[in-house]
Structure 1
Amino acid sequence: MAHLITSVSFFTFNFSLAPLLATAEETETASSTLILAGVLLSLIVIYFASKLGGEICSRINLPPVLGELVGGVVIGVSALHLLVFPEGGAAASDSLVMSFLARTTTVSPEIADSIFATQSEVISLLAELGVIILLFEIGLESDLQELIRVGPQAAIVAVVGVVAPFATGTAGLVYLFNVPVVPAVFAGAALTATSIGITAKVLAELGQLSSREGQIIIGAAVLDDVLGIIVLAVVASLVKTGEIQISNIIYLIISAGVFLIGAILVGRFLSPYLIALVKQMRTRGELLLTALIFALSLSYIATVIELEAILGAFAAGLVLAETEKRKELEEQVVPVADVLVPIFFVCVGAKTDLGVLNPAVPSNREGLIIATFLIVVAIVGKVITGFTLFGQPDLNKLAIGVGMIPRGEVGLVFAGVGAASGALSEATEAAIIMMVILTTFIAPPLLRFVFQEPQTASSLNGTTTESVNLSASSESDSPSSEIETAQKPNN
């Protein structure tokens, strides 16, 4: 009898619980569907902002990546609130994407915040993948042999261009503005970057890419990228530990250098086998997927030893750039980068609150002063690099320094990694963004000016000389000259 009562009770309990379990499963399914819908809406907004901003910048002769950044600022927390993130203090009710989702679907207020958090996490994860692909692509576009062969002049410019702004920026933020050490170090690291893409484009337009100054600028910019990525990996690792110790810094620098060199050496040994394996494959995407496996493996190893994943991706790109499949791989990586990299830059802009630089608010004035300081250090710290090449009066040293000014996409990588790590305050992050934008905007016209000025002077001298020669020639061809010449033998 007791057994029968237990069975009936168990049956009754299960029967009464069944609707609840079904409701929970339906809710979970609905949440998954709504999360996917939120991610899709966010991607629509991100891609639209990136293309619109990129097209506008391209038409006014500016890097499209700046348009992606500005597009992110417009749709983000600074303006339209289409793309906002919970780590910035936003809730589901602050997101216009979530509001639109609520109007077009059956999102209940109880699950709106959880959907918003998960959707934001997915977008942030895609942005992280984007920066990994970006550094892999930069590695592919770099030439390891050129880095090895680059002259001492480029090496001097690169080292000074990293050390001077980093030391000045970090010390100034700590001692003048009382910024905590870790954020100050990160902001100083952001000052070390140089955008080789922007400078190379302007030099090509001026016909100075193969000039002596142009070669020094390009070589130094490539070295700057390598040194800057190592600095970024070290600083980002310091953020994870939360403290600055000399022994820790030395360990991280050594580990970053050993990892980069070791990955390149091991990769150069393994790359012929990878290429041979690719040649044996018969399915689609054999080269791209094998390369991504290699890049993601090095990124994973870098993450495990407390470095940044981007250092592993960059090392993988450097290694594969030496193989016979380099050009083919570059072409195949471009579509992947076109899909993922804009998410990173738009998210960097969307998370940047430019409102903290509003001078009308008294508490924001410190942020504006910090931004001004970073901009001055960013410009002066690079301009002086050309003047460190002593004993070469024939070089256009000012042009070399100006060519190192633009931060471009490299500076945005620093800002994005810093924002994702949580090391930067809103004011410091916005100040770095403003520094990147301004240095990128002013570098092309300045570079045109410093290269054209000597050419104008020389052309004027050439014109004057030519005029004098023509005048002398016309005088010698005049009748009086002929008479004098004819009379001279008679005398």
Structure 2
Amino acid sequence: MAIDHFVLSLCLILLFGRLLGEIFNRLNLPSVVGEILAGIIIGPTLFNWVSPHETLAVMAEFGVILLLFSIGCETSVKRLYQAGKSAFGVAILGIVLPAFTLGILAAVLLKQPLFTAIYFGSALTATSIGISVRVLAQANQSQTHEGNIILGAAVIDDIAGVILLSILFNFSASGELGLVATTLLIIKVVGFLLLSPPIARGLLYLFRALRPKGNQTGYEAIITIILISLFAWLAHALDAPALLGGFAVGLALSRQFISPLSRYLKNPFPFTHQMEKASKPLVDVFAPIFFVYVGISLDLSLIDFSGNGILILLLLAVVAIATKLAAGLAVTGAWGPKAVVGSAMVPRGEVGLVFAEMGLQMEVISPKLFSELVLIIALTTLAGPMLLKWALSIQNRGTKPHS
């Protein structure tokens, strides 16, 4: 991408993303929906001022890595562990229900062959962790019990999505399932999640000791980006989502970080707090780029808008939303938390788009089916934050004390 096209695209992404996000925020709606809509407006669907490009895609991915870093900074490992059982149940339901139901519908309604139908259903299993987490953070709900369940379930969801994509990719290429390769992949991804936060924590002590004396502005921000970039690269090298690298570094910075060595080492909170504070402007700039780029990636002009085609797509979208909402049933307790968790699992976003793009490249799905899949992803991505906002408002009204 030429520099003049790049700077103009970046200008439009930040301008329209901020403008639409602020408008939606003032209307008491999730700003992330406004940012996605901004991408649809300036992208190929409407004005075509900005087109999908590898350079912008990399910036968008870095934005979601930074967003997960900021969430990790506020996350308690202990509470995340306590939510593990519920999170696992939510994730399993949220994978099995859409994969099975939408796979069958793709075979019956869209007349797709078996493997293509399985791929179609699998592409709609993974939740977009960034979208729901952003809505929760704006509502100050990211560190509630439900927030921890959502975060844990979405992380499991992402890992399962990567493993599922790898299995389908290998099967498409070789015609057989590689059990050894799949097992190795699972071990690598789980090992990364367990080992990377304490390793990153150890590096924090090293960088704190190497901190220059005097008022060296920018040191904390540089170290933060170094660690995020390093662990995002490590995650990708181990075939895990790169965003998990940002999350791992955020966990290491968290004041609530716990490990067997914590009793022997002084908490480096003043240093980690400065790192978190110095990186906030970067998160504020890059995170919206991801959400706007999701909208830019959705070229809805490729969709067949005939009467029958619209009905089928709407049915598939409703089922895609309903099967993720049903995942909230794995949460014990009242209907309020079930609705909040289920709503947060609805958006597919970037993970679904990766599935769709890979399927198109492997020629597992046709360009027409690709467009239909992208539209369903778009509808879930737009509907998810709206449903989550509604569920949170209902729950808040239910928990307010009566006067």
TM-score (norm 1): 0.67
2:185 equivalent among 238, 249, 252: 252
Q: Which residue of the partner structure matches residue 162 of structure 1?
A: 91
Q: Is 1:426 aligned to 2:355, yes or no?
A: no
- Give CA-to-partner distance per residue, 1:309-340, whole Å, 9 cap, x none: 22222212212224413332222222112222
Q: Which residue of the partner structure matches residue 366 of structure 1?
A: 312
1:228: Cα distance to partner? 3.1
C-alpha distance in 2 between matches for 1:161 and 1:132: 23
- Cα 1:450–1:133 change in 2 (3 A) is closer
Q: Which residue of the partner structure matches residue 295 of structure 2?
A: 349
Identity of aligned residues (%): 22
2:273 equivalent among 327, 349, 364: 327
Q: Which residue of the partner structure matches residue 124 of structure 2?
A: 187
Which amino acid is the alignment partner of residue 373 of structure 1? Answer: V
1:222: Cα distance to partner? 3.1
Q: Which residue of the partner structure matches residue 302 of structure 1?
A: 235
Ranked by relative contact order (alpha carbons within 8 Å, sequence separation 6 or more), the top structure is 2
Any conservation in 1 of the 2:189–2:238 contact (CA below 8 Å)? no
C-alpha distance in 2 between matches for 1:446 and 1:409: 12
Secondary structure of the 1:195 match is helix
1:301: Cα distance to partner? 2.0
C-alpha distance in 2 between matches for 1:140 and 1:277: 22
Any conservation in 1 of the 2:90–2:153 contact (CA below 8 Å)? yes
C-alpha distance in 2 between matches for 1:193 and 1:288: 22
Q: Which residue of the partner structure matches residue 99 of structure 1?
A: none
Q: Which residue of the partner structure matches residue 436 of structure 1?
A: 381
Cα RMSD over matched residues?
3.2
1:357: Cα distance to partner? 5.7
Q: Which residue of the partner structure matches residue 62 of structure 1?
A: 29
Q: Is 1:41 aligned to 2:8, yes or no?
A: yes
1:170: Cα distance to partner? 0.6
1:400-411, aligned counterparts within 5 Å?
400-407=337-344, 411=348
1:204-219, aligned counterparts within 5 Å?
215-219=144-148
Q: Is 1:75 aligned to 2:75, yes or no?
A: no
Q: Which residue of the partner structure matches residue 111 of structure 2?
A: none
- Cα 1:56–1:233 change in 2 (3 A) is same
Any conservation in 2 of the 1:406–1:443 contact (CA below 8 Å)? yes
1:285 equivalent among 218, 223, 232: 218
Any conservation in 1 of the 2:128–2:349 contact (CA below 8 Å)? no
Which amino acid is the alignment partner of residue 299 of structure 2? Answer: D
1:381: Cα distance to partner? 2.2
Which amino acid is the alignment partner of residue 437 of structure 1? Answer: L
C-alpha distance in 2 between matches for 1:263 and 1:439: 31
C-alpha distance in 2 between matches for 1:242 and 1:193: 29
- Cα 1:77–1:122 change in 2 (3 A) is same
Q: Is 1:273 aligned to 2:210, yes or no?
A: no
C-alpha distance in 2 between matches for 1:365 and 1:145: 46
Any conservation in 2 of the 1:65–1:408 contact (CA below 8 Å)? no
C-alpha distance in 1 between matches for 2:15 and 2:273: 29
C-alpha distance in 2 between matches for 1:238 and 1:133: 28
Which amino acid is the alignment partner of residue 224 of structure 2? Answer: A
Secondary structure of the 2:10 match is helix
1:273: Cα distance to partner? 1.3
1:169: Cα distance to partner? 0.4
C-alpha distance in 2 between matches for 1:406 and 1:339: 26
Q: Which runs of no fewer than 5 residues in structure 2 stay unpaired?
A: 108-115, 258-267
- Give CA-to-partner distance per residue, 1:437-489, whole Å, 9 cap, x none: 21321233344335535869xx5xx9xxxxxxxxxxxxxxxxxxxxxxxxxxx
1:261: Cα distance to partner? 1.0
C-alpha distance in 2 between matches for 1:62 and 1:267: 36
Q: Which runs of no fewer than 5 residues in structure 1 stay unpaired?
A: 1-31, 86-119, 390-394, 463-491
Which amino acid is the alignment partner of residue 243 of structure 2? Answer: I
- Give CA-to-partner distance per residue, 1:206-255, whole Å, 9 cap, x none: xxx9xxxx943133123224323433443454566464836244332221
- Give CA-to-partner distance per residue, 1:143-193, whole Å, 9 cap, x none: 224324x3xxx3333222111121010111222313443343231123888
Secondary structure of the 1:404 match is helix
Which amino acid is the alignment partner of residue 323 of structure 2? Answer: V
Q: Which has the higher helix share?
A: 1
Any conservation in 2 of the 1:200–1:218 contact (CA below 8 Å)? no
Any conservation in 2 of the 1:268–1:319 contact (CA below 8 Å)? yes
Q: Which has the larger radius of gyration?
A: 1
C-alpha distance in 1 between matches for 2:78 and 2:191: 19
**What is the count of residue pairs matched by the alignment?**
370
TM-score (norm 2): 0.80
Any conservation in 2 of the 1:358–1:365 contact (CA below 8 Å)? no
- Give CA-to-partner distance per residue, 1:15-63, whole Å, 9 cap, x none: xxxxxxxxxxxxxxxxx9xx11111111121112201210111111122
